[in-house]
A and B are shown apart, each in its own frame.
Chain A
Amino acid sequence: MKRLVKLSAVAVLATAVSAMAGTLDDVKKAGILKCGVNTGLPGFSEADSKGQWRGLDVDYCRALAAAVLGDAKKVKYVPLNAKERFTALQSGEIDVLSRNTTNTETRDTALGLNFAGVMYYDGQGFMVPKALGVKSARELDGATVCIQAGTTTELNLADYFRRNNMKFKAITFDTNDQVDKAFEAGRCDVVTTDASGLYAARTKMKHPEKYMILPDIISKEPLAPAVRHGDDQWFDIAKWVRNALVTAEEKGITMKNIDEAKAKTTDPEVKRLLGVEGDMCKNVGLEKDCFYKVIKQVGNYGEVFERNVGAKTPLKIERGLNALWNKGGILYSPPFR
């Protein structure tokens, strides 16, 4: 029975996929990009008091819409929870999934997704009260750890402590909220979850300044936007919009100075990126200045990062792994040429 269900699901998906080529045309025809986002994740996908979506994942949707439709506002946000996100993409309810989704082998292959380059390098980290006097996760031997039950976080934690020959005592809770409250109440020495979640948890505390996030990251969670298998052109667009954001930061092009850069630059890669020379956009089936529109309307990766999760936001996430490759991070884009 199970096999039958699986088979029929695959068959349905396969027909769905074959009918799905030409996402670009569909989006252009509809005049709006349907983008799947999280129902609520601070800094990544959240609604402000007027009901407008904002965040790092949301900005990727806007960038893609700017490239394809010329207008970052032409996005229909479809808030999705973790369970329905892949079905929504496969059934064509959305054109792209930008919902803090970790790129994994199974998802990339068996689930029929194509991941368009990492927007945020996340990973499991630790938060401790500063009063504990700990500077590294290696010093946590014997610690009591607050953790959400039944997540991969729990397994990662056990693995990490066993690998380093350390002992810990876990206190598990059902929801993230309970974990944070218990940690604040002092029921445990340390709390662990994905680093971006730790920053969000810290801002919820009465005295955020009393807590610190340790530099150690014990798992890899590269969060990437995803599109369906079977439409290579759309996949290319999704990839190169992300790459344009990163390259723009590398070249120091911002929302403000972009027009000046376009007029005066002598850097051939910038010329190609902004559509002054070459056929970069034509190669992916878009208008000549598609990446110019992205950066003009949304900004480069650094601007997106700072605006949503950076030092001036309540989250105060450091760039860390998400700094450019030539500035101590691993953020990298293939060249525009």
Chain B
Amino acid sequence: MVYPPKHSKEPPVLERGAIAWIRHNLLSSPFNIAFTILGIAILYMVIPPFIHWAFLDATFVGHSKSDCTGDGACWVFVKEKLNMFMFGFYPQAELYRPKIVIVSLLGLLAFSKFFKGRGVIKLALIIIFPLFAFIMLHGGYFGMPIVETQKWGGLLLTLVIASVGIVLSFPIGILLSLGRQSKLPIIKSLSVFYIEFVRGVPLITVLFMASVVLPLFFPEGVNFDKLARALIGITLFEAAYVAENIRSGFQAIPKGQYEAADALGLGYWQKMGLVILPQAIRITIPNLVGTFISLFKDTSLVMIIGLFDLLAMVTVTANDRDWLGMDTEGYVFVAFVFWIFTFSMSRYSKYLEKKLDTSKGR
């Protein structure tokens, strides 16, 4: 005799599908009901006017402020000033150079994704690419006229500062965190002093010192490049934060790992390089990316020392007498560009975490 399994009864209507979701998530208690209504009311007040302003009533076609007759946003402004937003004061005739750098950077990223495991090639590219980028951007070789760093601006400058800051602060941060863990008293106390000192000072102060006070102490005629000053300031500043991030990774690693490495007869650098650091860095990826995202946004602070990053270009472009009063469009556009970059960074960190997660295999 066979007993075919009975079909189970469907759950009641109120516990199914969208209705259930709404009941459970939005209307589960009087408090939540009130919040839901409040939320919908706020969305209703914010979103339709924004869509009207940004899309329906906006002007997309034209070449001057007089073309913007509607009540909405004047995206013509962003279109006409796009080169300024992207490259700042970089000379028009030389714009192909930053473009080549950006294209080759994207190519490089794709390359490193498809050619896995060729560590030497990657390392070579990490060293060669910055050189290539600098020669292309700054010029002075192969008949390319020199474009002073002062003319770099917009997104280009933001990317230069952020990537140099990230790439250089990482190894310095690792060294500092190792120093802080060190058993050698002088190295340890120097590292602790440096980290705690830097973390006790706002970045804006560091930049200000680097740009306004430092020149007074140089002999006359020595004018250290402003961008270089800012880069050094930002790198040294971020290194302290990176060091603390990595230290948190060190502390999360069980003592047994250290002892096991010792038992295998590994020396200090082998132990750290092969056993401890790879694990510590993996653990701290979310923190590190958090630090790098905030560094990316902090690049805007260079505005106070007269460098024109993406955000500062809004002030410059909206003060053009032909485009006065366009600040809002500029800020919205810049916010959108910033969001694209920071969001991609946080997605990439998710991907890295998954890729490096070895726990599942066990």
Nearest chain A CB to B106's CB is how many angstroms away? Answer: 25
A81 — nearest CB in chain B belongs to which residue?
Answer: B306
**Max count, chain A CB within 10 A of own CB: residue among B88, B220, B321:** B321
C-alpha spacing A16/B223, complex, angstroms? 13
Contacts of A204 in B (CB 8 A): 324-325
**Contacting residue for A83 out of B92, B212, B318, CB 8 A:** B212
User: Does B306 lie within 8 Å of A84, measured CB to CB?
Assistant: yes
**Contacting residue for B321 out of A43, A81, A177, CB 8 A:** A43
User: Does A314 lie within 8 Å of B322, measured CB to CB?
Assistant: yes
Contacts of B306 in A (CB 8 A): 39, 78-81, 84
Nearest chain B CB to A26's CB is how many angstroms away? Answer: 9
Task: Count A-B contacts at CB 8 Å.
Answer: 99
Check A84/B211 contact, CB under 8 A, given A39-B316, A78-B150, A78-B306: yes
Nearest chain B CB to A116's CB is how many angstroms away? Answer: 22
User: Does B216 lie within 8 Å of A40, measured CB to CB?
Assistant: no
User: Does A48 lie within 8 Å of B320, measured CB to CB?
Assistant: yes
Contacts of A51 in B (CB 8 A): 83-84, 88-92, 151
Among B146-175, those with CB < 8 Å from A are 148, 150-151
Nearest chain A CB to B330's CB is how many angstroms away? Answer: 11
**Contacting residue for A92 out of B88, B211, B220, CB 8 A:** B220
Let me know if A42 is at the binding interface, CB within 8 A: yes
C-alpha spacing A87/B218, complex, angstroms? 13
User: Does A9 lie within 8 Å of B216, measured CB to CB?
Assistant: yes
Check A50/B92 contact, CB under 8 A, given A12-B217, A40-B315, A40-B316: yes
C-alpha spacing A204/B150, complex, angstroms? 29
Nearest chain A CB to B93's CB is how many angstroms away? Answer: 10
Contacts of B88 in A (CB 8 A): 51
Let me know if B317 is at the binding interface, CB within 8 A: yes
C-alpha spacing A41/B324, complex, angstroms? 10
User: Does A42 lie within 8 Å of B324, measured CB to CB?
Assistant: yes
On chain A, which size bracket covers the interface?
Answer: 35 or more
Let me know if A171 is at the binding interface, CB within 8 A: no
Contacts of B317 in A (CB 8 A): 47, 49
A93 — nearest CB in chain B belongs to which residue?
Answer: B223
Contacts of B308 in A (CB 8 A): 39, 79
User: Does A19 lie within 8 Å of B321, measured CB to CB?
Assistant: no
Check A47/B223 contact, CB under 8 A, given A40-B315, A78-B306, A83-B212: no
Contact mask A27-53 → B, CB, 8 Å, 1/0?
A: 000000000000111110011111100
User: Does B216 lie within 8 Å of A91, measured CB to CB?
Assistant: yes
Contacts of B228 in A (CB 8 A): none
User: Does B215 lie within 8 Å of A47, measured CB to CB?
Assistant: no
Contact mask B296-320 → A, CB, 8 Å, 1/0?
A: 0000000011101000100111111
Let me know if A315 is at the binding interface, CB within 8 A: yes
**Contacting residue for A42 out of B83, B91, B211, B320, CB 8 A:** B320
B216 — nearest CB in chain A belongs to which residue?
Answer: A12
C-alpha spacing A93/B81, complex, angstroms? 29
Contacts of B322 in A (CB 8 A): 48, 314
B305 — nearest CB in chain A belongs to which residue?
Answer: A84
C-alpha spacing A199/B43, complex, angstroms? 37
B153 — nearest CB in chain A belongs to which residue?
Answer: A51
C-alpha spacing A76/B215, complex, angstroms? 19
**Contacting residue for A49 out of B80, B90, B220, B324, CB 8 A:** B80
C-alpha spacing A156/B83, complex, angstroms? 41
Check A315/B321 contact, CB under 8 A, given A39-B315, A47-B84, A92-B220: yes
**Contacting residue for A40 out of B208, B217, B319, CB 8 A:** B319
Let me know if B353 is at the binding interface, CB within 8 A: no
Contacts of B30 in A (CB 8 A): none
B92 — nearest CB in chain A belongs to which residue?
Answer: A50
**Max count, chain A CB within 10 A of own CB: residue among B84, B88, B221, B319:** B319
Contacts of B57 in A (CB 8 A): none
C-alpha spacing A203/B66, complex, angstroms? 12
Nearest chain A CB to B240's CB is how many angstroms away? Answer: 25
Contacts of B321 in A (CB 8 A): 42-43, 46, 200, 203, 308, 313-315
User: Does B212 lie within 8 Å of A87, measured CB to CB?
Assistant: yes
A41 — nearest CB in chain B belongs to which residue?
Answer: B319
Among B48-90, those with CB < 8 Å from A are 80-81, 83-84, 88-90
C-alpha spacing A41/B327, complex, angstroms? 14
User: Which residues of A are interface residues toward B (Cβ below 8 A)?
Assistant: 9, 12-13, 15-16, 19-20, 39-43, 46-51, 76, 78-81, 83-84, 87, 90-93, 177, 200, 203-205, 308, 313-315
Q: Which 4 A-B pairs have the closest CB atoms?
A: A40-B319, A204-B325, A19-B220, A91-B215
23 A-B contact pairs sorted by A residue (CB < 8 Å): A12-B216, A15-B220, A39-B312, A40-B315, A46-B319, A47-B89, A47-B320, A48-B320, A49-B84, A51-B91, A76-B148, A78-B150, A80-B306, A81-B304, A84-B306, A90-B216, A91-B215, A91-B218, A91-B223, A92-B223, A205-B325, A308-B321, A315-B321
